[in-house]
């Protein structure tokens, strides 16, 4: 992998404090900046991946609804009322 220089302006106090903090972690400022850049890229990719996954899930739900594969609200409410009751019983039993 070829390397290139990344130059930017920063307040001198911030630069000095960053260098001191980096040294306290046995790193130099350039190493930490590379780590931060890699972490940022990874976070951005994870956000893009999650967004794509979420959009697929929404589309699956919409397609299912449009195809008539729906669960009536009363059925959902009954199921979750039973789950809430079971949870309350477990909590009461553990008291």
25-84 pLDDT, tens digit per residue, is: 999 999 999 999 999 999 999 999 999 999 999 999 999 999 999 999 999 999 999 999
Claim: this prediction has a pTM higher than 0.75: no
pLDDT tens digits, one per residue of 66-78: 999 999 999 999 9
Residues 53 and 61 sit within 8 Å (Cβ to Cβ): no
Q: What is the largest CA-CA distance in the chain?
A: 64
Per-residue pLDDT at 34: 95
């Amino acid at each position: 992998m070829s390397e290139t220089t990344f130059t930017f302006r920063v307040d001198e106090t911030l630069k000095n404090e960053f260098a001191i903090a980096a040294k306290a972690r046995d790193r130099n400022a350039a190493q930490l900046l590379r780590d931060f850049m890699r972490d940022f890229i990874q976070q951005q990719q994870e956000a893009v991946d999650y967004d794509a996954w979420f959009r697929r899930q929404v589309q699956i739900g919409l397609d299912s609804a449009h195809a008539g594969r729906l669960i009536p609200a009363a059925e959902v409410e009954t199921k979750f009322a039973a789950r809430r009751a079971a949870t309350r019983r477990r909590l009461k039993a553990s008291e």
